[in-house]
């Protein structure tokens, strides 16, 4: 799922991009109301999370202009404004749901996915590679029925590879999912995570391959 997060607080941007990225949500951020419409059109997100308090144009103005321009993407309003009147204004302007700040990350994810499903998102099924199974509902990876113990970065990498078993996934793409919003980290850091993950996959019937110049690939090992 691709999410456009329109939020002007840099720490909130970084926190949500990193946390949701680890839950297989591709988060793109925009911190300015005047730029939000342009980003909205270019990115074509599945869902927009829109803060009400923004510079230049506030969230209600952004939402009203988006709907007037024919942008029908589901919108979740994020607001620190506690009055019923503000929420009603947002819903009347075309928002699909709202979530008051501060909010729980699990609830945020659940609301985003609910909005995506309303747009006809295909029902997700478990992905299996060898003896590994990725459960789309809880996001965990199981090895022969037991949860595979992984660090958050190892889990993010394995999820990304299991989403495209047998296909190469670029190093830059994987880096963005494993280290979302961490600009100070070098792309080569993904190699360390891949090395550790490869050792934990021993005996799983799945192999993590390095494709020089392309990225990584997860494939099922041939039966002996």
Distance CA 164, CA 102 (A): 35
Distance CA 70, CA 3 (A): 18
CB 80, CB 109: distance < 8 Å? no
- Token pair, residue 76, equals 């979740």
Q: Is the pLDDT of residue 144 over 80?
A: yes
Fold for 2-118, please state it.
Answer: Rossmann fold (3.40.50)
What pLDDT, on a 0 to 100 scale, did the predictor assign at position 73?
Answer: 93
pTM of the full structure: 0.57
* 24-49 pLDDT tens trace: 888 999 998 888 888 898 888 999 99
- Token pair, residue 183, equals 């600009």
Instruction: Give the mean model confidence (pLDDT) for residues 9-23.
Output: 89
* 165-208 pLDDT tens trace: 888 988 888 888 888 766 677 888 899 999 999 999 999 999 99
In the chain, CATH 1.10.10.10 covers 127-220
What sign results for the dihedral spanned by CA atoms 83, 116, 112, 138? Answer: positive
In the chain, CATH 3.40.50.2300 covers 2-118
Distance CA 149, CA 92 (A): 46
* pLDDT class of 123 with cuts at 50, 70, 90: very low
Q: How far is CA 154 from CA 83, 166, 184, 197, in A?
A: 42, 18, 19, 6
What pLDDT, on a 0 to 100 scale, did the predictor assign at position 1?
Answer: 86
Fold for 127-220, please state it.
Answer: Arc Repressor Mutant, subunit A (1.10.10)
Candidate from 132-136, 196-200, 217-221 with smallest mean pLDDT: 132-136
């Amino acid at each position: 799922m691709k999410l456009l997060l329109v939020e002007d607080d840099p720490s909130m941007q970084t926190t949500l991009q990193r946390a949701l990225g680890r839950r297989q949500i591709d988060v793109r951020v925009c911190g300015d109301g005047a730029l939000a419409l342009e980003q909205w059109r270019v990115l074509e997100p599945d869902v927009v999370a829109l803060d009400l308090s923004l510079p230049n144009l506030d969230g209600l103005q952004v939402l009203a202009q988006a709907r007037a321009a024919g942008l029908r993407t589901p919108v979740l309003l994020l607001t620190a404004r506690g009055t019923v009147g503000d929420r009603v204004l947002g819903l009347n302007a075309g928002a699909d749901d709202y979530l008051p700040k501060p909010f729980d990350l699990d609830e945020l994810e659940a609301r985003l996915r609910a909005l995506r499903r309303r747009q006809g998102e295909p029902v997700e099924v478990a992905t299996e590679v060898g003896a590994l199974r990725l459960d789309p509902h809880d996001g965990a990876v199981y090895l022969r029925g037991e949860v595979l113990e992984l660090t958050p970065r190892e889990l993010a990498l394995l999820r990304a590879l299991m989403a495209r078993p047998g296909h190469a996934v670029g190093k830059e793409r994987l880096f963005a999912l494993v280290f979302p919003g961490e600009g100070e980290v070098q792309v080569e850091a993904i190699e360390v995570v891949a090395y550790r993950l490869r050792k934990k996959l021993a005996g799983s019937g799945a192999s993590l391959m390095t494709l020089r110049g392309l990225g990584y690939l997860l494939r099922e090992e041939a039966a002996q």
